[in-house]
Amino acid sequence: MKFGVGVIGATGYIGTPYRAEIRDATDDATIVALCARRRDLLEAAGREDSASLVTSDWREVIEHPDVNLIVVATPDALHYEEVMAAVEAGKHVFCDKPVAMNAAEAYKMWAACRDAGLGHYVPFWTRYIECFVRAKEIVESGMLGEIRGIVCRWHNNRPASIPFTWRDNAELSAAGSIGDVGSHAYDTARWITGYEAKRVVAHAGTFSPPKPDMGEPNLGEAIQWGETHSEGDSQDVRAATSFDFGDIAIEFENGAVGSIMSSHAPFLRKGLAPDMELHGTEASLAIDRLKNELTIARTGQETRLLEKVDDHGMGNRFSHFVFPALRERVNSGQSEHPGLDDGWRVQMFVDAAVLSAKQGRWVELAELNAENHG
């Protein structure tokens, strides 16, 4: 199967690199149609991709007869309507994460794709980073014993003077940093261990000061502006309404415990500690994705470097992972690659963390699961 691709959100921080990879995957796909809100960027993208259609109306992309795969790279609040329309039109779906604004939407999206026999994919890319792949192999080997504790820090600090983007708007962003980097952290933990969260309690907030209001820059433009300007360079500012920090305690279904701290706040910088620690009954493992190192600790022994991982990068992610996963789901209904079923389970975790932060209590994921099927 060769894919005729329509990209919705084609010129943003996410859509632009995706298009480059799809464009280079000539044996697998052809870019047919593009949709974006900014006409200047859209026209340039259309020429770059040799797209037959460029439009500001995403429905035209879905309706195009030569498109059989829809790439959804728009703000979180738009995913549900776009994905459901794509499924109704019989198109396969690639949907960025977090997949929806809540778990009820996410479940309907997955169920619709599943029942229609369509391919679906959600880009939890951390599953392909070599040090995490090796960590999963080590856990499955039994070297660590039974995993009883998981600690994860997922900091993607932004420049202190970065302008306001849609990710700062709670009406468009599904839980801010909890949904953005927190979704990667939780999916990685559940993928490595096979554990699902039972309940969570969370503290979350917005710690960045009001941000320069520069209109509607995409994230790449905002980061570049923030790196070349200082706080106070813009008199017009806008306060963020979505979380840029979350600290989530987790109890897993098997009784293991965990903690995930996710943040885009400028003062929480990555690289000072391992990204993830896995504590088992026999040993503990620390994963450092920046240094590509795995460190092991055993009771009564010195902590030591277990392995320096060779990381050659992911290459073309669409050729290597996305297109094979879509074909697998079309042919068998199943794939080991992440899909909307994973997107739904991660969304339950995100929703539970947000509800806990707002209400100041433990929240059972079963509460949200019951709502999904209600």
Whether 374 shows a pLDDT value over 60: the answer reads: no
Q: What is the pLDDT of residues 243-300, one digit of tens each?
A: 999 999 999 999 999 999 999 999 889 888 899 999 999 999 999 999 999 999 999 9
**In the chain, where does the domain assigned CATH 3.40.50.720 lie?**
3-125+315-336
Residue span(s) of the chain under CATH 3.30.360.10 come to 126-308
Confidence class for position 368, pLDDT limits 50, 70, 90: confident
Cα–Cα distance measured from residue 294 to residue 131, given in angstroms and rounded to the nearest whole number = 7
Question: Which pLDDT score, from 0 to 100, does residue 369 have?
Answer: 74
β-pairing verdict for 53-55 and 69-72: unpaired
- 3-state SS assignment for residue 13: coil
pLDDT tens digits along 119-167: 999 999 999 999 999 999 999 999 999 999 999 999 999 998 999 999 9
Q: Please name the CATH architecture into which domain 3-125+315-336 falls.
A: 3-Layer(aba) Sandwich (3.40)
Tens of pLDDT, residue by residue over 170-223, are 999 999 999 999 999 999 999 999 999 999 999 999 999 999 998 889 999 999
Prediction pTM value: 0.96
Cβ burial, residue 154 (10 Å; 0-12/13-18/19+): buried
The Cα-based distances of 302 to 133, 296, 299 in angstroms read: 25, 9, 8
Q: Which fold has domain 126-308?
A: Dihydrodipicolinate Reductase; domain 2 (3.30.360)
Exposed / middle / buried, residue 341 (Cβ in 10 Å: 0-12, 13-18, 19+): buried
pLDDT at 233: 74
**373 pLDDT tier (thresholds 50, 70, 90):** low
- The rounded distance, in Å, linking the Cα atoms of 206 and 264 is 10
State the residue for tokens 């600790």.
297
Q: Strand 69-72 relative to strand 3-8: parallel, antiparallel, unpaired?
A: parallel
Length of the chain, please? Answer: 374
The amino acid at 139: V
What is the overall mean pLDDT for the chain? 95
10-59 pLDDT, tens digit each? 999 999 999 999 999 999 999 999 999 999 999 999 999 999 999 999 99
Q: Tell me the DSSP string of 301-368.
A: S--EEEEE--------HIIIIIHHHHHHHHHHS--SS--HHHHHHHHHHHHHHHHHHHHTS-EEHHHH
